[in-house]
Chains A and B, each alone.
Chain A
C-alpha cells in the first residue's frame, strides 16, 4: 500500500483582482505530502494561502482563474489519481521571468472536467469540515436527515433504517448526548459546539480516507474550542483518519498535528515534524515561524509585563510579491552576508535536518538544495 495518501506538487492557485489589474498569487508553488494516518497541520495568517490550498485539493475553488497548475495526487483503491489530470489543456499560462503574465482558461471546460474527476472523490474520499458549522449545515433539515443522506450516498448502508442506525452511531461517536433524540433536531436549536460535532459526524460518516478540517475551532468559545480539539484528538486515536488540519491557532495545530507546514505569502516556508518545528529551542527555524511563536504572550512575558515581540510591517499582500524572499521586508534576521540573496532571490525549501525543511538563506543547507 502506498504510504502517501495525498501528494500536492507545485500547486498554483491564482485569482484576479480587477481593481488592481493583477493576479493575486494565493497559492504559489506549494508542495505538501500527507502520509496515511498522519495529521498535517498548516498554520499561517490570513492571506497565506492555507485555506485556498485545501479548497484546491477538494476541487472547490470557483473564482477565476483559480487553479492554474500543479498536481494533486490522491491514493485511492490502491491507485494514485491526479485530481488535476488532463486539466492543463484548459488553461494556457504565459510566463515571463518565472512570473505569470497572462492566463487563458476555458473555465467551463475546466469545471466540467474537474467535476468528472472529483465525482466519487469529494464527500466520499475527501470530506471537509469548515469554520462556522452553523452555516455549513442545512437550516431547513434536521441533522439526522442530513446525516442519513450522506450515509446512503457514500456508504453501503443504503436502507433507510440501517442508515438511521448508522447516523445515530456517528452522533454518539462525536459525544453528542442522547443521539436518538438529537437526530430530529434542527441546526438552529443547537449550540455552536454541537453544530461542529454534527458536522464532524457528517464528514466522518462517509468514511473518507482524508479529512480536511479548515479552521474547525475558529469562532467557537474558548471552553468549547478545547472540547472540539479534544474530540478531534480522540477520533484521530480511534479511527486513525488522515487529516489535513488548517488553523491560524498554533495551540490547536500543536495539539493535533504530527507534522506541520508553516505558510507565508502563498508558499510553504517551513515544514517538518511538529515537535521539531515548534520546539522551544529549535536548531534551525524560519524567522517567520520564530516571530509567530514569539508574538504569543508567554508566561515569562506576562510575569514581567514586557512588550510582545511583534512582527513589524503588514502581512504580505500576494498581489505585489517581491522578487526575493517573501518575508524579507519584515525579517529581523537578515545579515550582511546574505542580504543580496534575500532581496533578490527567492530561497528554495531546503532540508536542514532529515524531514525538516526551511525556506531561508540563513541555512547553508537550504541554499545548496
Chain B
C-alpha cells in the first residue's frame, strides 16, 4: 500500500463577517465556520474527489491544506511534516511539491507575458537552470500537456479556453509537484474540451505519479477520476468512501439527493420521495446555506428525507448529539444517526 502524503485532522477555518451597525461599533463580527472539523488523508498516486454544493467549503479546504490561507485550528501533515504552523520561509521549499489548479482559466497567466515567458518564470522560481535546460524543459512540458510549440509566442488572450487550461497545467508541472489540488479544473470549459482535460489529468497522474485532491461539482467526472470521494455539507464531511460505493450505495441521505438530482435532470427513474423532499427543502431553506442560523444537531436535518420519514426524531435536532462519522465497513464512513 502506498504511503500517506497528506493528512488533515480536525481542520477548522472560520471567516468573520462584519455586517450592520452593531458589529461596526463593537468591532465584533459573526463567525462563519466555512470548514468545521474535517479530517481525511490522501495516499500517494491516488485521487480523492471532494463534492458538494457551492458554499459548502470545498474550495476553502483546498486552499487551506496548501496553506494558501491559514487554518483556524486543526493539523495538516504533508509528507510527514506538520505544516500547520510553518512560517512562510519554512513553507517555501515545500510550495513546489504542492500546487493548485484554479477554476479560473486566467489564474496565474500574466496577460502581459507570452506563453514561453510564463513557463520560463515557473521553471526558474525554485531553481536556476541554464538556458539549454530551460528550453528542453519547456519542450517537455509542452509535450506533457499536448500543446503545439507554435503557441509559445502567444499571449494568454490569444489562446482558447482549452489551451489556457493546458498552459496553466504546464505551469504547475514546471515545479514538479507531488500533490495537486485541482479546484473545478474543467467547469469553465466546453463539454468537448472537458473530456480532453480529464483524460490529460489522468495521463499525467499515471506518468508522473501525481496525487490529486479533485474538487468538483461534476459528479460523473468525480466518480470517473477518483478512487475515494468525500461528500461535504455545510463545512463538514458527511460521507466518505470508495467512489463506486458513494455513487451507487450511498448511505447518507444527502449523497443520495446529490446523485439523484443528476439522474433527475436526465429524466431517469427517481423516487418520488426524493423529489418531494428537495422541493420541501428548498422551500424551507430560504437562504439555502444558512451558516448564520445553523440547525442544532444534524445540520442536514431541515432538508433530510429520512428525518421527515422517521417522524422527526428528537436525536436529529439535539444540539448535544451532532452525528459523527462512523465506519460502516469497507472504509466507508457516514455521519448520520440512521445510516
Please list the residues of chain A having a beta carbon within 8 angstroms of any beta carbon in chain B: 45-46, 175, 177, 189-191, 193-194, 221-227, 229-230, 248-252, 254-255, 291-292, 295-297, 301-303, 305, 307-312, 314-315, 317
**When the two chains form their complex, are residues B224 and A308 in contact, meaning their CB atoms are under 8 A apart?**
yes
Residue B207 is within 8 A (CB to CB) of chain A in the complex: no
A310 touches B192 (CB 8 A): yes
In the complex, A225→B258 CA distance in Å?
11
B286 touches A190 (CB 8 A): yes
A315-B192 in contact (CB<8A): yes
A295–B266 CB distance below 8 A: no
Note all chain B residues with C-beta closer than 8 A to A229.
264-265
Partner of B53, one of A223, A250, A303: A223
Q: Is the CB of A222 within 8 A of B217?
A: yes
Cβ-defined partner of B265 (8 Å) among A193, A225, A315: A225
Residue from the list A194, A226, A248 in contact with B191, Cβ < 8 A: A248
Known contacts A296-B220, A315-B192; A255/B202 CB under 8 A: no
1/0 per position for B284-302, CB-CB distance to A under 8 A?
Answer: 1111100000000000000
Closest residue of chain A to B202 (Cβ to Cβ) is A307
**Stretch from B101-109, B170-178, B275-283 that touches the partner:** B275-283
Main secondary structure of the interface of B (DSSP, over half): helix
| Chain A contacts for B285, CB-based, 8 A | 191
Interface residues of B in 190-244 (CB under 8 A from A): 190-196, 198-199, 202, 217, 219-221, 223-224, 244
Q: How many residues of B contact A (CB 8 A)?
A: 42
Residue pair A314, B160 in contact (C-beta under 8 Å): yes
Chain B CB within 10 Å — which of A193, A223, A291, A312 has the most? A223
Residues B258 and A223 in contact, CB atoms below 8 Å apart? yes
Report the Cα distance A189→B292, complex, angstroms: 14
| Structural contact, B163 and A308, CB atoms closer than 8 A | no
Closest to A303 in B: B244
User: Is the CB–CB distance between A314 and B217 below 8 Å?
Assistant: no
**Do B221 and A226 touch across chains, with their CB atoms under 8 A apart?**
no
Query: Could you tell me the distance between the alpha carbons of A268 and B170 in the complex, rounded to whole angstroms?
Result: 35
User: Which residues from chain B contact A193 at a C-beta distance below 8 Å?
Assistant: 282, 288
Contacts of B264 in A (CB 8 A): 226, 229-230
Given A222-B53, A314-B160, A308 contacting B195 (CB threshold 8 A): yes
Leading 7 A-B pairs by shortest Cβ distance = A310-B195, A295-B195, A311-B192, A308-B195, A45-B190, A226-B261, A177-B283
* Interchain nearest-CB distance for A260 vs B (Å): 14
